[in-house]
Structure 1
Amino acid sequence: MAKSFEVTELPVRSAKFIARKQWVVAGADDMYIRVYNYNTMDKVKVFEAHSDYIRCVAVHPTLPYVLSSSDDMLIKLWDWEKGWACTQIFEGHSHYVMQVTFNPKDTNTFASASLDRTIKIWNLGSPDPNFTLDAHQKGVNCVDYFTGGDKPYLITGSDDHTAKVWDYQTKSCVQTLDGHTHNVSAVCFHPELPIIITGSEDGTVRIWHSTTYRVVIGYDEGTIMVKLGREIPVASMDNTGKIIWAKHNEIQTANIKSIGADYEVTDGERLPVAVKELGTCDLYPQSLKHNPNGRFVVVCGDGEYIIYTALAWRNRSFGSGLEFVWSSDGECAVRESSSKIKTFSKNFQEKKSIRPTFSAEKIFGGTLLAMCSNDFICFYDWAECRLIQRIDVTVKNLYWADSGDLVAIASDTSFYILKYNRDLVSSHFESGRSTEEEGVEDAFEVLHENDERVRTGIWVGDCFIYNNSSWKLNYCVGGEVTTMYHLDRPMYLLGYLANQSRVFLVDKEFNVIGYTLLLSLIEYKTLVMRGDLDRASEILPTIPKEQHNSVAHFLESRGMIEEALEIATDPDYKFELAIQLGRLEIAQEIAVEVQSESKWKQLGELAMSSGKLQMAEECMKYAMDLSGLLLLYSSLGDAEGLTKLATLAKDQGKNNVAYLCLFMLATGYQKLLCSQDHIFQAKYLR
């Protein structure tokens, strides 16, 4: 609890925020209205408002008005800019006025609910109601307006155990919600989702679908927290950069190409795309997807689907279905139930009706039609719906490459990259062999497995781009995973535009964000994986220098260290590669360039072990490795070197090294000992 206000000993039946004034206004059974500043906790105003219990207060969204309703059967309007003067009284109800609420679409009107069984609609400025709805068989406890879309609806709850949805323009009842076993005391429309919430004195809260008016969820004892909606935005982008998304029933479009050429795009920043209204959808969208050529968009939700034209948003086809998927060439399939799937031609004419021998919980489109059970997936060809292969894996999502030769299967904990052997499958079918039970052996070949959870993914050529459970934006080529960016919030992949070399994502607020991913870099890595090194070499000059280290790391992971050394630009990394290859001359050039003592020492030791004594001597001098030089000169019997080393060691304060040099030269070592106050040792060594 953040704050608590002591108001009165009697019940407080209603309190509302006035956010623009930092106030809370409350009405109580002592017939007073009190106003508090919720920041300072100061009492701003106290005044007697009614002659009986105050049931409700309502705040005007823009004007300085507060409505109050009471058991004295009156509704009063208060103006805080006039010292909380009562500027109007609304009379007409013949019983307690339980609730008042302003119409969010026309704030000059408001509705009132009363135990006289009626709802009255009023205008500010007029003491008489516009009209009265004989709403229920018993008293009406609550009322709320629908805020979304164009529907002129309000909802009421009553002591007759029902809630009713009304059209206040036609003054007709749209739907009666039956289910509660006692008085309905609270009702509301969700401000964004197609949800109605009702609360009753039977101890239950029920959540209803506002399109189908069916119960979604209900609970009775205790307290429960329910998450409504979902994080992933309902959005799709075609291969030209046109984006369509659904904000509830409203459909909007944006085009990445609308960003001017003079605008400097920064990775990770929201793109200033121009958003336009495209239309509305007759159902509540739960998924939305372009077909492969971008001409059509399918919207699924509420057990139905509608296919629209992408440009004009015209209804092209519709039907019943839990899921809808596109094939790679524009055909489609619909899962009507777990036991019935239908396929359709490019003109949306029904081709086949399939009844799988298992419970199909999901379907996926792409090169092949895939049907999933809880613990396996079966692939079928689109033409004849023949079984290609069954794979025992729990599938969360499926992503096909545009080539149709690669597919990524994502589970809850990992993902797999598989190769589809199209020619082998074609040969199998041409031979006339049956595939009903086992499918085609070796139709798929597992290339790579990665223990990361894929949130969303797309293919660019043979490169699989995805974001993982840690919200890292990665790409995978040939099994090697590279992290491009760390995302600062949940984002979901929309697509890739090759002409901009950028991958685009969207967040739940429909902000579009772009990140650079060079197409030339992807093509280079893809060609290397295919073994086409000549073509890869032709592409290399088009890759910017700042990406060459990334390329070198990729080549090193493939065991191509020579090629990595040629491409690497970072001196430290290049030095490591040269050491791996035993290319000590190159390593020496790098050491001269960076002048790192640790590199000189490492190189000196390697040169010594390789028998390159001149290089070893030079490296040890740069590294000031006096012990190493002592070992080298003493092994070679180099008196001149020992003499120079003795002098250097004395200058550096390394007296042990200096003494050993002089001792081996049999000259000057006694003098050194005496200078260090070791006279006894000097006498002993005479």
Structure 2
Amino acid sequence: MLFDVNRKLFSRSDRVKGADFHPTEPWLLTGLYNGSVNIYNHETGALIKTFEVSTVPVRCVKFIARKNWFVAGSDDFQLRVFNYNTHEKVAAFEAHPDYIRCLTVHPTASIVLTGSDDMTIKAWDWDKQWKCIQIYEGHTHYIMNITFNPKDANTFASACLDRTVKMWSLGSPSANFTMDAHDKGVNYVDFYPGSDKPYLVTTGDDKTIKIWDYLSKSCVQTMEGHTNNPSFAVFHPNLPIIISGSEDGTVKIWNGGTYRLENTLSYALERAWCVSLRKDANEVAVGFDEGIVVIKLGRDEPTFSMDPSGKLIYTRNQEVLSGNLQTLQDDTTPEGTRIPLSIKEIGNTEIFATSLIHSPNGRFVTVVGDGEYIIYTALAWRNKSFGNGISFAWANDSNTYAVLETRVKLRVYKNFKERGSPLMKGVGSWSVESLHGGPLLGARGKGFVLFWDWETGEVVRRIDVDAKNIFWSGTGSLVAITSDDSFYVLRFDRDAYNAKLEEGAEVTDEGIEEAFEVVAEIPDNVKTAKWIGDCFIYTTVGNRLNYFVGSESYTISPSDTSMYILGYIPSHNRVYLADKDMKIFSYSLSLSVVEYQTAVLRGDMDGAAEILPTLPKEQLNKVARFLELRDMKELALQVTTDPDHKFDLSLQLDDLDSALEIARSVPDVEAEAKWKALGDRALAVWRFDLAREAFEKAGDINALMLLLLSTGDRDGLQKLAVMAEQKGANNLAFATLFQLGDAKSCVDLLLKTNRTPEAALFARTYAPSEVPKIVDTWREELKTKNRPKIAAAIAHPSENTGLFEEGWEEALSREVDTRSTILPNGTLVTPGEAPSPSDDGILVDA
């Protein structure tokens, strides 16, 4: 069985006796022989939390994620519970009178089971203040491991050094049945997670691993290979493998179907003691004498293929399942939400699939994996052909295909029979990693991509690039070559290639340079992709769904999780995607919109005009935005149906009459911003009449004052002063009256706004006849404010030759803030009142 094994985390520590992955956070919990508990971030490798739990070994630890807890059992007989966020100790009590060797947490109920050297298993309920609700007796030696049945959480199994495995029910103190599992003590037991087999795997001190049918209580298989006692063996939930670890220091991977040994891993950390599986990411943590290791098995991507008609086929382990997306008709499903799809099992495959490939006509499906390939009929799932091969590619005619047997050995078949000639030129000269089908046979190797002609076997072109994948368009004229940080779109010119051959050009190992021309290079990391005509739809490593058309790339939608493109169904106008669990999602993408964009980018405006009437109405605004980005604003204005967008385009094109019409049709509560924008633009193009109307409708009295002053409109300024006073914009009203030379009205406004000292100061310069009245008013105000001394200090203007005598100076210094602002237009603004935006205030001493 061929899949990658990559080490993600390697951390040395004291002996690790227990480990557990957090179900949602990137955390790994470890219990150490020195009494500590560590939490690692298994993505970064950082140790993020440490708990000093006890002074004796901690032999078992588990997360209780729904409570933000972890629970630990140790050799001082104590069961301890900690909140891993606050470091608070939630509970601690003596659970057994001997070492606690194992524990497990019920998947849904508030129950923890503990197994001990006292030969008993106990159930504890944390909702009942950790009361012991059941004791299970029957074993005659140390309890080494407990595990719940994933198919029935009311039952669990236990492994014991008395050589037996017992099956229990939660509500009964005695075992349902007992199996004599090994010749020596049993160290571990685990349930097969699938629904098709009632199997257990056990490990014993007789150095063997055994598979049991617990319904018939019969041994299905005995696996030998470890040279010392195996500490654990577990079924992987997503891959058809069994993972075991032993005191011989190795971790072994066994085929879950044939039970043969597939791989042996050694990390030189002495004995292996414990294991934990991260079910959603194919990751395995193994604890050793000298530390912890996390390995990643295989890949997260699901194995699937969808034909052009919408028939989806994917594998789950070696089961083959199918669904038809063509039957989905609910176009009202919100974008990005899961779509229910009826799935049925259509068969099995003898190999563990690493890729599925539909033939172009959809009649056949090729399964590739484990160094073999099998071609099945898509409908009946019957074996049509098979052989050795590490990669496979279909030609466009669905009758021809190529198989890469080894990195330097390539075979071509036609109608399921090997083609003797012509052979692909230069095969064996390059080390090829994979094949890619299409109008040309593509081969990808380290640092190069090579294209052969299917019919002649000649090298069409060699391109030096480190590629990850090759995608041909359905028309056969475009090809996308993806790399780690970008992708390249090239145009294949078969006519130019044939012309060079007719001219007698020598075809070297580099092929014909004129065969391809570069259309674009896009700095996006492509994960999965499909061509729809000349539109390239792809998902990125950053979880965005994009499409490339012409020479540019556009985003359809971002996503929170990794998504994989299944394909596009034109009748639905939707792109279908799946997550790694093969849950189906969709996003709308109109093919006519793509065709229109393609025509525009090619400069074929006549063709675009023909397509325009066929565009869905709900897509017109999207098209208009596209046209605006292409600086085709006049056409965008004709296309858009969005009043806001139409208004913005009208302003950009100085079509102010259209903008005026839109502004008049908008409700008053939404119109102010539009009128303001229209007024600003009208002012910029010298449309003073329109600017005045717009500013009046917008209520923008500051801009209106500037406009009226510029045009010398005295009547308009008088109306503006009244409007400003009504709105409480007293600064602007004062400035307007001052510009009109109406000093008396300025004084009246200051008095109305309770600014008598400023009124007196202003009147002394601009309206002397008003001074006595103002001073009397000021004096009376001061008396009512219980300031008789200041009132008495104010000299009467008729009795003094100068205004600024001692009494005035004292009064002003107390009445007028020393940070008042005198504006160039004569306005005095105190700190409590902000000047208008157009005022240029100067701070002075009063």
TM-score category of the 2 structures, normalised to the smaller one: 0.7 to 0.9
Match of 2:338 in 1: 270
* 1:186 partnered with 2:232: yes
How big is the shift at 1:485? 2.6
* 1:555 partnered with 2:627: yes
Moved more, 208-217 or 433-442: 208-217
* 1:248 partnered with 2:321: no
Aligned partners of 2:333 and 2:303: how far apart in 1? Answer: 25
How big is the shift at 1:201? 1.6
Supply the AA of the counterpart residue of 1:195.
Answer: I
Aligned partners of 1:664 and 1:66: how far apart in 2? Answer: 93
How big is the shift at 1:365? 1.8
How big is the shift at 1:253? 1.2
Match of 1:389 in 2: 461
Aligned partners of 1:32 and 1:650: how far apart in 2? Answer: 89
How big is the shift at 1:388? 2.5
**3-state SS in 1 of match to 2:396:** coil
Aligned residue pair count: 639
How big is the shift at 1:557? 1.9
Aligned partners of 1:497 and 1:313: how far apart in 2? Answer: 23
**What is the CA deviation profile of residues 247-268 of structure 1, one whole-angstrom value per residue up to 9, with x for unaligned ones?**
1111111112344x57954433
Aligned partners of 2:633 and 2:110: how far apart in 1? Answer: 66
Moved more, 398-407 or 417-426: 417-426
Match of 2:639 in 1: 567
Aligned partners of 1:585 and 1:671: how far apart in 2? Answer: 39
**What is the CA deviation profile of residues 433-452 of structure 1, one whole-angstrom value per residue up to 9, with x for unaligned ones?**
11214322243222222222
* 1:672 partnered with 2:746: yes
Q: Which has the greater radius of gyration? A: 2
Match of 2:765 in 1: 681
Aligned partners of 1:28 and 1:632: how far apart in 2? Answer: 90
Match of 1:503 in 2: 575
**3-state SS in 1 of match to 2:593:** helix
**What is the CA deviation profile of residues 501-536 of structure 1, one whole-angstrom value per residue up to 9, with x for unaligned ones?**
111112222222222212222222122223332332
Residue among 86, 91, 116 paired with 1:28: 116
How big is the shift at 1:662? 5.7
Contact 2:562 2:579 in 1 (8 A): yes
Contact 2:147 2:190 in 1 (8 A): no
How big is the shift at 1:287? 0.7
Residue among 31, 35, 43 paired with 2:132: 43
Aligned partners of 1:522 and 1:75: how far apart in 2? Answer: 63
**3-state SS in 2 of match to 1:273:** coil
Moved more, 511-520 or 317-326: 511-520
Contact 2:385 2:416 in 1 (8 A): no
Moved more, 649-658 or 333-342: 649-658
> Structure 1 residues 580 and 174, CA, compared in 2 at 3 Å: closer, same or farther?
same
**3-state SS in 2 of match to 1:529:** helix
> Structure 1 residues 46 and 430, CA, compared in 2 at 3 Å: closer, same or farther?
same
Residue among 654, 672, 679 paired with 1:582: 654
* 1:592 partnered with 2:664: yes
Residue among 275, 294, 297 paired with 2:365: 297
**3-state SS in 1 of match to 2:182:** strand
Aligned partners of 1:620 and 1:63: how far apart in 2? Answer: 73
Match of 2:261 in 1: 213
> Structure 1 residues 55 and 538, CA, compared in 2 at 3 Å: closer, same or farther?
closer
Match of 1:524 in 2: 596
How big is the shift at 1:473? 1.8
Residue among 673, 680, 689 paired with 1:614: 689
Contact 2:701 2:720 in 1 (8 A): yes
**3-state SS in 2 of match to 1:508:** coil
**3-state SS in 2 of match to 1:672:** helix
Contact 1:166 1:175 in 2 (8 A): no
How big is the shift at 1:540? 2.2
**What is the CA deviation profile of residues 198-227 of structure 1, one whole-angstrom value per residue up to 9, with x for unaligned ones?**
222212222234456331544341211122
Aligned partners of 1:579 and 1:63: how far apart in 2? Answer: 67
Match of 2:382 in 1: 314
Match of 2:349 in 1: 281
How big is the shift at 1:300? 0.4
How big is the shift at 1:152? 9.5
Moved more, 204-213 or 409-418: 204-213
How big is the shift at 1:656? 6.1
How big is the shift at 1:356? 4.5
Supply the AA of the counterpart residue of 1:37.
Answer: D
How big is the shift at 1:63? 9.7
Match of 1:423 in 2: 495
Contact 2:114 2:123 in 1 (8 A): yes
Aligned partners of 1:546 and 1:387: how far apart in 2? Answer: 47
Contact 1:149 1:249 in 2 (8 A): no
* 1:3 partnered with 2:92: no
Match of 2:90 in 1: none
Contact 2:539 2:546 in 1 (8 A): yes
Match of 2:483 in 1: 411
> Structure 1 residues 262 and 11, CA, compared in 2 at 3 Å: closer, same or farther?
closer
* 1:332 partnered with 2:378: no
**What is the CA deviation profile of residues 357-404 of structure 1, one whole-angstrom value per residue up to 9, with x for unaligned ones?**
332223322222222233232222222232223333221122211011
Moved more, 577-586 or 303-312: 577-586
Match of 2:773 in 1: none
How big is the shift at 1:340? 2.2
How big is the shift at 1:302? 0.2
**3-state SS in 2 of match to 1:361:** strand
Give % identity. 41
Supply the AA of the counterpart residue of 1:252.
Answer: L
**What is the CA deviation profile of residues 292-341 of structure 1, one whole-angstrom value per residue up to 9, with x for unaligned ones?**
00000000000000011101111111111111122223222222222222
* 1:485 partnered with 2:557: yes
Aligned partners of 1:78 and 1:158: how far apart in 2? Answer: 20
Aligned partners of 2:728 and 2:141: how far apart in 1? Answer: 99
> Structure 1 residues 263 and 113, CA, compared in 2 at 3 Å: closer, same or farther?
farther
How big is the shift at 1:282? 1.0
Match of 1:235 in 2: 304
Contact 2:473 2:533 in 1 (8 A): yes
Match of 2:510 in 1: 438
> Structure 1 residues 665 and 177, CA, compared in 2 at 3 Å: closer, same or farther?
same
Aligned partners of 2:108 and 2:738: how far apart in 1? Answer: 91
Match of 1:223 in 2: 292
Aligned partners of 1:75 and 1:457: how far apart in 2? Answer: 50
Aligned partners of 1:214 and 1:47: how far apart in 2? Answer: 38
How big is the shift at 1:147? 6.2
How big is the shift at 1:421? 2.1
Contact 1:673 1:681 in 2 (8 A): no
> Structure 1 residues 671 and 397, CA, compared in 2 at 3 Å: closer, same or farther?
same
For the aligned residues, what is the CA RMSD?
3.6
Aligned partners of 1:51 and 1:604: how far apart in 2? Answer: 93
How big is the shift at 1:143? 7.1
How big is the shift at 1:489? 2.6
How big is the shift at 1:86? 6.5
Aligned partners of 1:655 and 1:18: how far apart in 2? Answer: 73
Residue among 193, 198, 217 paired with 2:244: 198
**3-state SS in 1 of match to 2:244:** strand
Contact 1:14 1:56 in 2 (8 A): yes
Contact 1:113 1:141 in 2 (8 A): no
Contact 2:738 2:746 in 1 (8 A): no
* 1:472 partnered with 2:560: no
Aligned partners of 1:613 and 1:15: how far apart in 2? Answer: 84
> Structure 1 residues 366 and 37, CA, compared in 2 at 3 Å: closer, same or farther?
same
The two structures have a TM-score, normalised by structure 2, of 0.68
Match of 1:126 in 2: none
Supply the AA of the counterpart residue of 1:345.
Answer: K
